[in-house]
Chain A
Amino acid sequence: MSTTPTRPTYTLPVGPLHVALEEPMYFDIQVEGETVRGVELAAGHVHRGMEALAMQRNYFQNITLTERVCSLCSNSHPETYCMAVENLSGILVPERAQHLRVIADEVKRIASHLFNVGIMAHLTGFDSLFMHAMEIREIMQDAKEGVYGNRMNLGQCVIGGCRCDIDESSATFLLGQLELLKPQLAELYGVFERDPLICKRTKGIGILPMEEAKRYAVVGPVARASGVAYDVRRKTPYAVYADLDFEVQTDTRGDVHSRAMLRLREAVESVKIIEQCLRQMPSGPICTEDMVAVPAGEAVARSEAPRGELIYYLRSDGTDTPQRLKWRVPTYMNWEALQVMMANCQVADIALIVNSVDPCISCTER
């Protein structure tokens, strides 16, 4: 009697450092030869207890704290936190400040998306494209530095409005940066769309079908690239998104390549949004003058961060510090779907697939 020999499986430890980004997440990967058969994640390497810190700080101090949850979506955190405080306190944000918040959001989104696709190029071994993407991203870094004085943490959001106005000279500078960006973004899109190396390494790998995207409740570009057309900016508009003309980008392929292309298209939409805001922003105050005490109660606020839906839950006992401040970041929802994306993939594709969810560990662990 003959028996078919079975190939042994091994456990391959991947991480916790340098899986895709220089942030720690540990993967216990079962492999059979070069093929991945199972994935287990182990988190907690940079857990900082920020939610506990938030309960020790007053409502103003928490603006600074939440901006430091993550650097790439550092505007979304204080913005959504401020929205939660404003929802609970009934504070109305002046219209000009709402435009300013959208501009800051979209500037950060462009920089974040370019960073992610740049890293993808690096992981495919196409380092000159990586450097090119980062060079294009530098246009937005300069814009941030010029308008807000900082390249990462803008310090733009305050409760009831914004810190920094955009005057005529700043607006002209920002529009000039966007004019610089547009042709280079279009060129970059073409390279990512057609380059044989990029296509070979990223098309058809890390697939997340729509039904699995829904089952794992993934958010952001990961969900939209799998056909789940959910964008908080459109679904439950905040600030002035309801008045802005932009298209929610979707795809149905759900692979690494489609997620990168979707991010680049979203960056193009972000440029349009910023231009609209600069054009139609009314004059007026940039922050409310009447600051009220935060009453006892609870509130929820949501925004569309670069990586997807961000939610803040605020519970107040009427004192000057929150009774509870909880936030759930987009990446938190996307980790487990890696088990689907990595099923039967090759070991060499692991880092590319992990990067395609645009993971943020400092966000996840807080």
Chain B
Amino acid sequence: MNEITKQAAENAVAKVLGAGFVHWTWDANGNAFGWVKLCDPKTLRGIAPNLADAGARLMTITAYRNDKFGRMEGREIAYHFDLDGVVVTVTTCLNDAAPMVPSITPWFRNADWHEREFGELYGIAVEDHPNPRRLFLDKDLDAGILDRMIPLSTLMNGASTTTLWEKVFAGRQLPEWAKGEQN
């Protein structure tokens, strides 16, 4: 069964990219994991319907930065599919300037929540999403806010008044850093 399913996954990918684009690994129990790397997110529009035709089920989608601290640009998204027990992960690079991916909801109905989640957490636009509402974050918050490093000191200053520093610097000009709105 594993070999037949593996072949189905290979065929689904090969129709778009050609043969030999799936890299395989196995766990200690012999379960197979296929890995596919795309350089252009638009290729998803070709691969997603083929995987759906092969009976794939979308399990989850993972967005991540190539450098988790954001010291350099670069984001990728990994789509994890299940084909009758075989896990196939299709990873695509994103454009740094305007990260955007096409929605795969036309072929995988359950991609709705996953796409909305990475859209709001990582600030990645999803093209043609049928229901582009916020999932977890309130609509008044900036997209990608959880992708930003906000020092606790900034967070605390932002949440407090400037009363303390006005008393400390009474009679003198308040320095810029002590002004709440600057932090």
Contact = CB atoms under 8 A, between A and B. Distances in A.
A30 to B, nearest CB: 16
Interface residues of A, number: 39
B62 A326 contact: yes
A217 B110 contact: yes
Contacts of B65: 324
B89 to A, nearest CB: 6
A28 B118 CA distance: 23
Given A336-B110, A365-B136, A302 B89 contact: no
Interface stretch (B11-19, B53-61, B163-171, B173-181): B53-61
Contacts of A47: 136-137
Interface in A228-278: 235-238, 242
Interface string B20-47: 0000010111010101000000000000
Contact of A313 (B57, B80, B109): B80
A351 B31 CA distance: 39
A237 B87 contact: no
Contact of B137 (A44, A92, A300, A309): A44
Contacts of A323: 64, 68
A332 B113 contact: yes
A315 B59 contact: no
A317 B87 contact: no
Interface in A318-366: 323-324, 326, 328, 332-333, 335-336, 365
Nearest to B60: A328
A206 to B, nearest CB: 19
Given A313-B80, A317-B68, A324-B68, A242 B62 contact: no
A187 B35 CA distance: 48
B138 interface: yes
A326 B60 contact: yes
A215 B31 contact: no
B29 A217 contact: no
B136 A324 contact: no
Given A43-B136, A317-B68, A323-B68, A236 B85 contact: yes
B146 interface: yes
A298 interface: yes
B28 A86 contact: yes
B136 A216 contact: no
B76 to A, nearest CB: 9
Given A49-B146, A55-B68, A301 B27 contact: yes
Main secondary structure of the interface of A (DSSP, over half): mixed
Contacts of A86: 28
Contacts of B33: 299-300
A336 B64 contact: no
A87 interface: yes
A215 B85 contact: no
Nearest to B108: A217
B27 A87 contact: yes
A317 B68 CA distance: 9
Interface string B80-102: 10001101010000000000000
A131 interface: no
Interface in B119-147: 134-138, 146
A44 B140 CA distance: 13
Contacts of B59: 217, 309, 311, 328
A219 B170 CA distance: 63
Contacts of A326: 60, 62, 64
Nearest to A235: B85
A52 interface: yes
Interface of A: 43-44, 47, 49, 52, 55, 83, 86-87, 92-93, 214-217, 235-238, 242, 298-302, 309, 311, 313, 315, 317, 323-324, 326, 328, 332-333, 335-336, 365
Given A83-B27, A311-B80, A336-B110, 9 more contacts: A93-B28, A236-B31, A238-B27, A238-B31, A242-B29, A298-B89, A311-B60, A326-B60, A336-B109
